[in-house]
Structure 1
Amino acid sequence: MSVDLQTFMARRGAKAMGLILLLSCLALLTRYYTYEPNSSHFRRGLFYRNDSSIQLGQFNSHFSWTDGNGGLHQLPIETVLSKSFSLSSYSEQSQIIPYYYKSAMNMTGEDITIVTLVTRNRIPNLARLATQYQGPISTTIHISDDQEGGYTLELLQNAMDENPNMRKYVDVHVVRDEFDRELNLWRNVAKLFARTEYVMQLDIDFFPCTDIRKSVLNNPKAMSLLRTGEAALVIPAFEYSQQEEGLDYRHFPSNKRDLVKQYNEKKLEMFHSFWLPGHAPTDYERWTSNEKEIYQVTTYQHSYEPYVIFKNQGSPWCDERFAGYGSNKAACLYELYISGVDYYVLPDDFIVHQTHAYPDEARQVERYYNRRLYTQFREEICIRLARRFITQRKWDHPKSENLRQECASIKPFQRAIGRFL
């Protein structure tokens, strides 16, 4: 201790020492702690300044269970996640951080969580979705393993700080690795950590113009269908014929009457009307002709890609071999359908696409390979689920009817079934 400090301490005593310690603590906090408003709402991962690596924070590092003799067993959570997502590009360098942000909402089981994924340039879409939906949202955000990943999380932090609806309603799960556009992996992460009985599969570019959550939760028929686990509710999707008119969500219609008016005036049309198989089975002419009741989709075909609400528990997962654009969402919905889930269309609710640019060159290459994979996938899933139904003695059960009808045109399927029966 220096002579000057000794002299000061002799004069001031213990109070001076306390003041010095307090100032030292404040200096350390200033260096290593960044203030985050409402941080008690979140279970956070941390970017450490020295190595920019995400740590698990309060998330349990092991999966634990007790055997019949009371013995405790554990597996590292990284092992569990690597097995859970083994069909994707998930590797030892990958990190999945559930609840990087955890919403402050007190959720009830019988509610509907929007399951979606978000990229850096779509964070504003997520903020307006939280404000519009006013209900639980589970989203995955992918970040790269470099400084760009840190920048993405800074933008996310800013959105959380600026929008109380983000803090109240949105659970954010981080996937950190070098693999881009693992869309079905990201969907599965968001669905896995959704905290309600029902989920709404939605792309972040769509704006829910009506109060879908309230409409469904207060509709006895809709809830009766969802509770069976054998029905998915379709939300009709629209886009503007002139793409520039879809840039500002504040000008979108907020009720069916106004939407139908714009539809009849050719201002709005079925989403991706250039690819009829994608949404035509919803039957837009029936929906816009003053339909007031939930109705069943009767013209399903394998390229159908509606946005749907369905029961989370027991529903199939999206096949993670589909990386990049093309067929990834169709694969999710195909397996859902032939697993025994029928599609029903909501009569009054709708979503509208928010216009954005498409990376066409990347899409063309990825679509080519995913189309080939999808043909093989349909054959595989038909045979696999058929074996399940036959083993469970449900081959003649109504639950297997979708599979029997949809898979009948696949020749390898017919040959295989002849051996199983």
Structure 2
Amino acid sequence: MRGHVMFRPRKKYIFLLLVLMLVPLIILTYLSVMHDDNFNRNSLMGFNNREAALAERVREVEDENQMLRRQLSLSQYQLQQSYQNNIQGMDPRNEGTDDKEVEIGINNGTIICTNVEENVPKCEVIHVAIVCAGYNASREVITLIKSVLFYRKNPIHLHFLADKPGQLTLSTLFDTWDITGGKFYFYNFLLIQDDVSWIPNKHYSGVYGLMKLLLTKVLPKDMDKVIVLDTDVTFATDIAELWKIFRKLKNKKAIGLVENQSDWYLGTLWRKHKPWPALGRGFNTGVILLDVKKLRKMKWMQMWRLTAERELMSMLSTSLADQDIFNAVIKQHPDIVHQLPCAWNVQLSENTRSETCYTEISDIKVIHWNSPQKLRVKNNHIEFFRNLYLTFLEYDGNLLKRELFGCQAYQHKPKEVVKEITELDEDDQCYEFRREKLLTHRIHLYYLDYQYIQDLDGTDVTLVAQLSMDRLQMIESICNHWLGPISFALYMSDAEVQQFLRYALSSDILMKRKNVGYHIVYKDGQFYPVNFLRNVAMKQVNTPYVYLSDIDFLPMYGLYEYLKKAIGMMDMSKANKALIVPAFETLRYRLTFPKSKAELLTMLDMGSLYTFRYHVWQKGHSPTNFAKWRTATTPYKVQWESDFEPYVVVKKDSPLYDTRFVGFGWNKVSHIMEIDALGYEFIVLPNAFMIHMPHAPSFDIAKFTSNKNYCLCLKILKTEFQKDMSKRYGFKALKYVSMDK
């Protein structure tokens, strides 16, 4: 083959034609000049014969070029016609299809034209199915999704087979992530688990490890194909490249898999090792191309079930869950499998030899951490793989809300949010505050394992607090002081979340506690969204009552049990009451925490404790009437006063916090004001207390004290809130305006 060049129709053909036409002209010009200038010399030297030979060669070249031009013209016309026919036959929903590439080969004067496989249309939807159950799995799958989103150029639809915790966590995450061109669907595994729960399974994933067998049953009937992924894989390329391989699944081929890279199915790993039957080394099911339409026609559900029943008579149970059954089916029906290049599932586990699968690291498409050891497995390039994984683990997910250019059907934000933002006046001096309220923060609920056993007496109460990275050390102390349920909202970046995870997993105190919900709100915007965080934590409370605290307060020992008794005695289920826990503070970083009210009063008298903010903001807590509290033995009522912001116990369905208040100032005051407007009684508990622990000032307090515009906007927002209160609560809300003046 003399030539082998890649061309696109039109432009590159024209270029080739021009080159072919210019070559003989250049040769003729050169020969003419040589003939005129050197005729006598050439004649004398006897070069006439060579000149004649060159002239003959030029004529041959011209003839060959004329033939080439005719053939190229004909081929170009045919290719253009084919291209136009394909364009006309395309689905109009697939916008922006890339030009097809044509491979031109010249062999002995004959042009060979071959269509090169075209790219996936950039607006074609790629469907991905994932089995994800439990809080830990929903945390792990995010790294996979980040790696897919980082490279992708197509809309992605995610189909999750999930349990209730997984669905709650992931639906909230993707609702708030607001990914352009991203949609998600959930299929409750409880409705289908009976189809696989009869299979004895030794794999650590349990019944969830068998769920892939049911995809043809649960996925929508109009879905033809889907990529199926384990949660522990990481992409290193555009997933559209994998989607494109579906075109190679011809005839009966309905499943695309990578060969297993361990000797498991060869049965040579240890003595008396008897694996399930497989074709050669077998196939790994961490990455699967599933032609759902073909499999349904083959009656896949009956096919795998019959195979499983037959093999279980001798095997008794599966060791590798769905992978054993997939391989047993393929052993019986080898024509249904298409073997994928091993780069699409580089398997990293203790028994694999994945280095033999690839020659260059750049060839790798998908990394599969299919070992309980995960990042600790051995491989010659483990540092590269680990760094790639950690990059996506800590990558800012906000950067993945990318536009899909050219796909008009997909817009980055819901229209109503766009409208609200565009209606804001950018010349408004409080524009940044108003825009902050419209931010959609990514939320990952229950980042760690969570279990709550319902208290049947109806008096259970959850401590609610919010924090950022600089208050992380308070979590252990609060868990030591409060044994009841806790709901924390943590405001962190993706990288900070991993620091929190390492901190939590290394803490014996936190790992023993399963009744603590950790809800991640990812950083975005300029201000600390304090009330938004409180609302996130409040909404995830499972108890009928909430104790609204702050992260820098330690409740007295035994406060949980004391509050439960107080709730029962106050008959709070039948009336709106707010039980006040009096707040104190210390300026000492090391404090012997008082074990009783008597010890606290002694410390107050000695000056090691103070009533909270008595020296900077007395109005916030003075209505608690600390003088009366000192001698009180029974609960007593107090009245609301301007700027009152106590820490209270209320019903779970009490008002949420107003999210217009961000950073420092008026965030709790506005909430207590609304509770008062609803007619709640404020009752001080005589034997309860909490103590504020000292810490460095927050960044938002520094902004408040140093930025005049910050203070001005806070006053404007406060006035607007009071007007809104008047609209909602009418005449009785007038006191909030008058008392403030």
TM-score (structure 1 length as normaliser)? 0.71
Q: Which amino acid aligns with 2:577?
A: A
User: Is 1:386 matched up with 2:730?
Assistant: yes
2:719 is matched with 375
> Where do residues 225-236 of structure 1 align in structure 2 (5 Å cutoff)?
226-236=572-582
- Is residue 722–residue 737 contact of structure 2 (8 Å, CA) maintained in 1? no
2:624 is matched with 282
**Correspondent of 2:532 among 178, 185, 192:** 185
Measure, in 1, the Cα distance between the counterparts of 2:439 and 2:693.
36
Return closer, same or farther for 1:238/1:13 CA change in 2, 3 Å cut-off: closer
User: Is 1:128 matched up with 2:380?
Assistant: no
Return closer, same or farther for 1:48/1:197 CA change in 2, 3 Å cut-off: farther
User: Is 1:111 matched up with 2:460?
Assistant: yes
User: Is 1:150 matched up with 2:495?
Assistant: yes
Measure, in 1, the Cα distance between the counterparts of 2:265 and 2:629.
82
**Correspondent of 1:356 among 695, 700, 711:** 695
Encode CA deviations 1:27-67: one digit per residue, 9 max, x unaligned: 543598369xxxxxxxxxxx964533589xxxxxxxxxxxx
User: Is 1:140 matched up with 2:460?
Assistant: no
The SS at the match of 2:495 is helix
Return closer, same or farther for 1:356/1:368 CA change in 2, 3 Å cut-off: farther
Return closer, same or farther for 1:272/1:175 CA change in 2, 3 Å cut-off: same
Q: Which has the higher contact order (CA 8 A, sep 6+)?
A: 1
Return closer, same or farther for 1:101/1:31 CA change in 2, 3 Å cut-off: closer
Return closer, same or farther for 1:269/1:222 CA change in 2, 3 Å cut-off: farther
- Segments of 5+ residues of structure 1 without an aligned counterpart are 1-8, 36-46, 56-77, 388-402, 413-421
Q: Which amino acid aligns with 2:614?
A: S
- Is residue 580–residue 646 contact of structure 2 (8 Å, CA) maintained in 1? yes
2:646 is matched with 306
Encode CA deviations 1:79-115: one digit per residue, 9 max, x unaligned: 8xx89xx988366763111212242342325311011
**Structure 1 residue 220 displacement after superposition:** 6.3
1:61 is matched with none
2:47 is matched with none
Q: Which amino acid aligns with 1:283?
A: N
The SS at the match of 2:697 is coil
- Is residue 490–residue 520 contact of structure 2 (8 Å, CA) maintained in 1? yes
Q: Which amino acid aligns with 2:594?
A: P
> Where do residues 76-87 of structure 1 align in structure 2 (5 Å cutoff)?
none
Measure, in 1, the Cα distance between the counterparts of 2:626 and 2:396.
46
> Where do residues 10-25 of structure 1 align in structure 2 (5 Å cutoff)?
14-16=266-268, 25=349
User: Is 1:325 matched up with 2:674?
Assistant: no
**Correspondent of 2:521 among 151, 154, 175:** 175
1:38 is matched with none
Return closer, same or farther for 1:324/1:14 CA change in 2, 3 Å cut-off: closer
**Structure 1 residue 328 displacement after superposition:** 0.8
Q: Which amino acid aligns with 2:721?
A: F
**Correspondent of 1:334 among 673, 686, 693:** 673
Return closer, same or farther for 1:411/1:125 CA change in 2, 3 Å cut-off: closer
**Structure 1 residue 143 displacement after superposition:** 1.5
- Is residue 134–residue 165 contact of structure 1 (8 Å, CA) maintained in 2? no
**Structure 1 residue 317 displacement after superposition:** 1.0
- Segments of 5+ residues of structure 2 without an aligned counterpart are 1-262, 274-280, 283-319, 321-346, 353-368, 377-387, 398-412, 422-433
Return closer, same or farther for 1:411/1:153 CA change in 2, 3 Å cut-off: closer
1:66 is matched with none
Single out whichever of 343-352 and 330-339 deviates more from structure 2.
Answer: 330-339
**Structure 1 residue 258 displacement after superposition:** 0.8
Return closer, same or farther for 1:370/1:220 CA change in 2, 3 Å cut-off: closer
Return closer, same or farther for 1:25/1:264 CA change in 2, 3 Å cut-off: closer
Measure, in 1, the Cα distance between the counterparts of 2:651 and 2:567.
15
TM-score (structure 2 length as normaliser)? 0.42
The SS at the match of 1:168 is coil
Q: Which amino acid aligns with 1:409?
A: S
**Structure 1 residue 378 displacement after superposition:** 1.9
User: Is 1:29 matched up with 2:338?
Assistant: no
The SS at the match of 2:445 is strand
Q: Which amino acid aligns with 1:187?
A: R
1:58 is matched with none
- Is residue 113–residue 200 contact of structure 1 (8 Å, CA) maintained in 2? yes
Q: Which amino acid aligns with 2:579?
A: L
Measure, in 2, the Cα distance between the counterparts of 1:278 and 1:13.
70
Higher-Rg member (1/2): 2
Q: Which amino acid aligns with 2:655?
A: P
